[in-house]
Amino acid sequence: MRRAVLVIVGSLALSACTGMLDGKKDPPTPNGPQLTACFDGTQRTPVTPPPRIRRLSRYELENTFESLLAGSGKRVHALLPADAVRDGYDSDAELLRASELYVDAVRRLSEEVSAQLDANTLLPCGGSACADAFIRDFGARVFRRPLRPAEVPRFRAVFDVVAADDGAVAGARATIEAFLQSPSFLYRTELGDTTSTLTNDELASALSYGLWASPPDRALLDSALQDDATRAEQVRRLLADPRARLALDHFAEQWLELERLDSAVRSPVLFPDDSPALREALRREALDTFANASTLSAFLTDRPATVSAPLLPVYGASWGPERAGVLGLGAILMAHSTSETSSPVHRGKLVRARFFCQSLPPPPPGINAALPDFVPGQSNRERFSAHSTNAACSGCHRLMDPIGLGFERFDALGRTIDADARGEVLDTQSSVDGTFDGVPELAGKMAADQAVTACVLSQWSRHALGVSANAASCGELGWLPSSSAPPATMRALLEVPFTAPNFVRRSAPSPDADEPPVPDAGTPVTPTGVTTRVRIDSDWGAGSCRTVFVDNGTASAQTWTIELSKVGTITSLWNAVVDDSGAMWRFSGAPHNVTVQPMEGTSFGFCVTSP
Among the ranges 40-44, 258-262, 337-341, 399-403, which has the highest mean pLDDT value? Answer: 258-262
> So what's the pLDDT on residue 113?
95
Task: Please tell me the distance from the alpha carbon of residue 334 to that of residue 303, in angstroms, as a whole number.
Answer: 18
- Which range marks the domain in which residue 557 is found? 523-609
The pLDDT tens digits for 444-487 are: 988 888 778 888 888 998 899 988 766 665 544 544 334 345 55
Q: Give the pLDDT mean for 296-321.
A: 94
Task: Please tell me the distance from the alpha carbon of residue 373 to that of residue 244, in angstroms, as a whole number.
Answer: 44
- Could you tell me how many residues make up the chain? 611
Residue 127 domain flag:
yes
Q: Give the pLDDT mean for 391-407.
A: 68
Task: Please name the helix (run of DSSP H) or strand (run of DSSP E) that holds residue 588, with its range, or none.
Answer: strand 584-589
**Domain total in the chain:** 2
pLDDT-derived band at 254 (thresholds 50, 70, 90) equals very high
> So what's the pLDDT on residue 608?
85
Residue 128 domain flag:
yes
Residue 195 domain flag:
no
Q: Give the pLDDT mean for 51-69.
A: 94
**Higher pLDDT pick, 590 / 316:** 316
Instruction: With H, G, I as helix, E, B as strand and everything else as coil, classify residue 562.
Output: strand
Q: What is the CATH number of the domain that holds 568?
A: 2.60.40.290
> So what's the pLDDT on residue 155?
94
Task: Please tell me the distance from the alpha carbon of residue 234 to that of residue 214, in angstroms, as a whole number.
Answer: 15
> So what's the pLDDT on residue 119?
79
Residue 382 domain flag:
no
Residue 1 above 50 pLDDT? no
pLDDT-derived band at 57 (thresholds 50, 70, 90) equals very high
Residue 165 domain flag:
yes
Q: Give the sheet arrangement for strand 523-524, strand by strand.
A: 523-524, 561-565, 584-589, 576-579
Residue 368 domain flag:
no
Angle between helices 151-166 and 131-143 (to 10 degrees): 120
Distance of CA 314 to the CA centre of its chain: 31
DSSP one-letter string for 364-408: PTT---PPPPP-TT--HHHHTHHHHH-HHHHHHHHHHHHHHGGGT
> So what's the pLDDT on residue 528?
60
**Higher pLDDT pick, 375 / 320:** 320
Q: Which of 53, 29, 54 is nearest to 40 (CA)?
A: 29
> So what's the pLDDT on residue 146?
95
pLDDT-derived band at 17 (thresholds 50, 70, 90) equals very low
Residue 91 domain flag:
yes
Task: Please tell me the distance from the alpha carbon of residue 213 to that of residue 109, in angstroms, as a whole number.
Answer: 19
Last residue of a domain, one of 140, 163, 190: 190
The pLDDT tens digits for 27-47 are: 222 222 333 333 333 444 456
The pLDDT tens digits for 72-83 are: 999 999 999 899
Last residue of a domain, one of 164, 190, 216: 190
Residue 116 domain flag:
yes
Q: What predicted TM-score, i.e. pTM, was given to this entire model?
A: 0.74
The pLDDT tens digits for 190-247 are: 988 888 899 999 999 999 999 999 999 999 999 999 999 999 999 999 999 999 999 9
Task: Please tell me the distance from the alpha carbon of residue 482 to that of residue 469, in angstroms, as a whole number.
Answer: 22
Last residue of a domain, one of 190, 219, 234: 190
| Range list of H helices, 405-537 | 438-447, 450-465, 474-477, 490-499
